[in-house]
Amino acid sequence: MTRDPKTAELNAWLWLFCGLLSLPGPIGLALEASQTVGSLAYGDVAHATALAVRVALTGLGVAAALALVRRHKVGLTLARASLATSVAFALTRAATPFVPSSFAPSDEWIRFGAVALHAAGWWTYLATSGRVRRVYGIK
């Protein structure tokens, strides 16, 4: 018997995932923006580009979290896109010296590894969880 996805309850893992998509991104963006806003006055293109990308990634994560909480199927696509783009941004930050960061160059690879493991774990959960299939009506 298939249940209506709108009446299925989100479990703790989905709530945690939605919280991780929607809370740390805006907080980190606010902290990064407060540190880099001074360099924008001098026309620093690297900082401005990195900040614009962070705004877009944060918006994608928040949109994914809201769609997941509201039980829209597109939330899964947005969540996967958010995970993939966050890994791509972390790789760009680790591999290029001109993308601004507060970490030492050697620590960027540690951050990239942590972001990649985090994304792989949640991607696997979204792909294999029976609860996710029930909540979002995926067969």
* Each residue's pLDDT tens digit, 30-46: 988 888 887 777 877 87
The letter for the amino acid at 69 is: V
* Domain region containing 66: 12-133
- Whether 70 is in a domain gets the answer yes
Looking at every residue in the chain, the average pLDDT score rounds to 87
Classify residue 2: in a domain, yes or no.
Answer: no
Structure tokens at 63: 């949109």
- pLDDT-derived band of residue 1, with 50, 70 and 90 as boundaries? very low
Range with the lowest mean pLDDT among 54-58, 86-90, 93-97?
93-97
Amino acid type, 20: L
Residue 7 lies in a domain: no
Average pLDDT over residues 72-76: 93
34 membership: H or E segment, kind and range: helix 24-40
Rg (C-alpha) for the chain, rounded Å, is 17
Whether 139 is in a domain gets the answer no
Does residue 1 lie within any of the structural domains?
Answer: no
The token pair at 95 is 């591999």
Indicate whether 91 belongs to any domain: yes
Residue at 6 is within a domain: no
User: Is residue 96 one of the residues assigned to a domain?
Assistant: yes
Number of independent structural domains in the chain: 1
Q: How many CB atoms sit inside 10 A of residue 50's CB?
A: 20
Let me know: does 86 contact 115? Beta carbons within 8 Å. Answer: yes
